[in-house]
Structure 1
């Protein structure tokens, strides 16, 4: 327990330091998660050896930390655009969820076979890596540079997709777990997963509507002060996550649905101040988790994977998403430049860490799950952290040239 508390202390102090130098960090082509990950590597046992975290503490921190951060992040994604504008991105989002996400799981799982992992474990790895991370995606689609360089429909599509597919990845992970842990029958697992998704949606609708009604009433009667008004979506996200967990449902999906309903029922004046604090939380609350990830990266196990690990990373980065989105560009009604951008920026991050930790909690003991999964997440943080700012500028330049 003392080690867990020391870990919390380290996470909080170093994240606060990173937040204090946030303006300077925004001036360099490095994302905050990448800096936090690198700092964790430096402080960890592979370099300075100042911090060591046991596997038991690692699993607790990654599971509960990623669960909370993803919930807050999908709430921010739900509030980023007016709910009334959702209709303009329904087509591309449905195609991304129904076609791209499942195929991304298949491609990622198939790529892991080059390292000799069993087929069932490969399916689980692919399922854990298929969702687009809302935390890393937020750094691409939110803020003044994104608003200046990227069209609103493109940013809206990526925000909604990253908000929804984090919850909808649960059925894919659950079914893969049946293959790895065959203690449960496929029929029972399918029934449980259906319950988790459907009841999660119901909880999200009910709690979002109740929160929206409460804000309307409090605003009308002038009972809502500014301080609680600012953090209300965060409180809603935590509350929905807790209710969904008690009901043993899909908490991440429930939070996004609640945020969307709440968005629909509140005015723009009520949402905008909340969006500011949500984005701040989205940017900085995740930093401690990436720092811990840097400390616990399994370098020795990566070496054991051999050169095939590099092939795996390249295959996932190049094939998991880009060819699929380009193929669907016409049905999604996206220009080629937007399809390339949307295909490339589908990062793996906190949501994948959550499903990796969830799988470990469910009883998966093969160390290759965390080794392969963490390798891909670390590579994703590195690659997308280096390419997000240049990618936005390159898109703006190419779109301008195409228009001329």
Structure 2
């Protein structure tokens, strides 16, 4: 009975979320938050995870989380790349670069330093901080898309948050890889750095080539009337999956390659076509998160949290408040943002799918200390709840302050 119950609960919930999708964006509620709560409920009822009908061991859990998060990230960063015209993205290169080069490493340092209070060794704290450093494109999309965001937030602010969340999921890989190398002394750090150079540089080249090639192919197919309307709408999703697969075969950063492919494709595609494809990508992205966050809810390590004690709650609260907000506020000048914009951008740096991906990736690479995974998953759950419930109210507050 386990699998039919999961299908029924998640299916009915997804239909309800779709039918009230506009109203949902006005409430302190998001699809990931609803799915997370459903996953917790299913697990506690013994239907999903643990000792339930769909119980899994640790290896099965990690495989499920790693591959589903990888696919969801690919779809999310493709949607982020298509959300705004390339001219808008070019206009925010400086603030996005600052967020990637300064704010993201600072977030890793702050998160890692806070986790030292739990007794983690310095190297493991660095791994945890690196995993929590990127801004999640899935949770960020609930902040920058929809009627409330479009009416309340200026396009420049939404563009900055979109471009950052799309780019930093792939660019967090060097931080994670260096931290993992420090945590596993048997590794040759020089060799790891050479691999990282290929993973990042190769991803940029491969992604650009894939995006430009598919854009050229779409124009040729349209000119010869070989491309039907239906396949045209899902072409960018197919591009995302293809780029992800080729990048993994080439041993480059697949998520970064997909984002670059989306940028390159959008630069060579007219606005009307890109807008229709982005709408389809966004819709699929919004409801693909339901099964994923239900899986996350079922995989939450309650017993590990109990062993860590109440200190872990204080650590996660510190991560939410200090990981990003103070650094962004202090960076108003290079970001070119007034206080209000900097406060909004500093608060909305959610941890979600990308953090789960890197936490499981670190385990796959050999970092098996359960405390790293436990603290990271608590931060993801807390971010999903806190950022999900504050997105719409703070966007409306931003609009009221602007009107005033």
TM-score strictly above 0.5: yes
- Secondary structure (helix, strand or coil) at the match of 1:285 reads helix
8 Å Cα contact 1:241-1:252 kept in structure 2: yes
Following TM superposition, by how much is the alpha carbon of 1:13 offset from its aligned partner in structure 2, in angstroms?
Answer: 4.8
Partner of 1:350: 353
1:377 equivalent to 2:380? Answer yes
Post-superposition Cα deviations, 1:13-62, rounded to whole Å, max 9, x if no partner, equal: 54432221013361532111111111111111xx3222223222210110
Post-superposition Cα deviations, 1:210-243, rounded to whole Å, max 9, x if no partner, equal: 0111111122222211111010000000000000
Please give the residue correspondences for 1:23-62 in structure 2 after superposition, counting only pairs within 5 Å. 23-24=19-20, 26=24, 28-44=27-43, 47-52=44-49, 53-54=55-56, 55-62=58-65
1:119 equivalent to 2:125? Answer no
8 Å Cα contact 2:14-2:290 kept in structure 1: no
Post-superposition Cα deviations, 1:321-367, rounded to whole Å, max 9, x if no partner, equal: 11111111122111111110000001000000000111111122111
Partner of 1:78: 81
- Secondary structure (helix, strand or coil) at the match of 1:330 reads helix
**In structure 1, how many angstroms separate the alpha carbons of the residues matched to 2:235 and 2:7?**
22
Partner of 1:325: 328
Query: Unaligned 5+ residue runs, structure 1?
Result: none
**In structure 2, how many angstroms separate the alpha carbons of the residues matched to 1:217 and 1:172?**
40
Query: Unaligned 5+ residue runs, structure 2?
Result: 50-54
Aligned match of 2:12 in 17, 25, 37? 17
Aligned match of 1:289 in 288, 292, 300? 292
**In structure 2, how many angstroms separate the alpha carbons of the residues matched to 1:226 and 1:209?**
20
Sort the Cα spacing of 1:366 and 1:10 in 2 relative to 1 into closer, same or farther, 3 A.
Answer: farther
1:315 equivalent to 2:334? Answer no
Normalising to structure 2: TM-score of the pair? 0.95
8 Å Cα contact 1:69-1:282 kept in structure 2: yes
Size of the aligned set, in residue pairs, is 394
**In structure 1, how many angstroms separate the alpha carbons of the residues matched to 2:342 and 2:306?**
35
8 Å Cα contact 2:40-2:298 kept in structure 1: yes
Please give the residue correspondences for 1:112-151 in structure 2 after superposition, counting only pairs within 5 Å. 112-151=115-154
Normalising to structure 1: TM-score of the pair? 0.95
Divergent runs of 4+, >3 A: 9-15
RMSD between aligned residues: 1.5
Please give the residue correspondences for 1:235-254 in structure 2 after superposition, counting only pairs within 5 Å. 235-254=238-257
Following TM superposition, by how much is the alpha carbon of 1:177 offset from its aligned partner in structure 2, in angstroms?
Answer: 0.6
Please give the residue correspondences for 1:83-98 in structure 2 after superposition, counting only pairs within 5 Å. 83-98=86-101
8 Å Cα contact 2:10-2:290 kept in structure 1: yes
**In structure 2, how many angstroms separate the alpha carbons of the residues matched to 1:193 and 1:15?**
39
**In structure 2, how many angstroms separate the alpha carbons of the residues matched to 1:343 and 1:74?**
20
Partner of 1:341: 344
Partner of 1:216: 219
Following TM superposition, by how much is the alpha carbon of 1:88 offset from its aligned partner in structure 2, in angstroms?
Answer: 1.5
**In structure 2, how many angstroms separate the alpha carbons of the residues matched to 1:291 and 1:182?**
36
**In structure 2, how many angstroms separate the alpha carbons of the residues matched to 1:333 and 1:50?**
50
Post-superposition Cα deviations, 1:69-123, rounded to whole Å, max 9, x if no partner, equal: 0010000000000012222111110110010000100001111111111111100
**In structure 2, how many angstroms separate the alpha carbons of the residues matched to 1:167 and 1:311?**
29
8 Å Cα contact 1:12-1:288 kept in structure 2: no
8 Å Cα contact 1:15-1:284 kept in structure 2: no
**In structure 2, how many angstroms separate the alpha carbons of the residues matched to 1:351 and 1:366?**
19
Sort the Cα spacing of 1:21 and 1:263 in 2 relative to 1 into closer, same or farther, 3 A.
Answer: same
- Secondary structure (helix, strand or coil) at the match of 2:47 reads coil
Moved more, 379-388 or 301-310: 301-310
- Secondary structure (helix, strand or coil) at the match of 1:78 reads helix
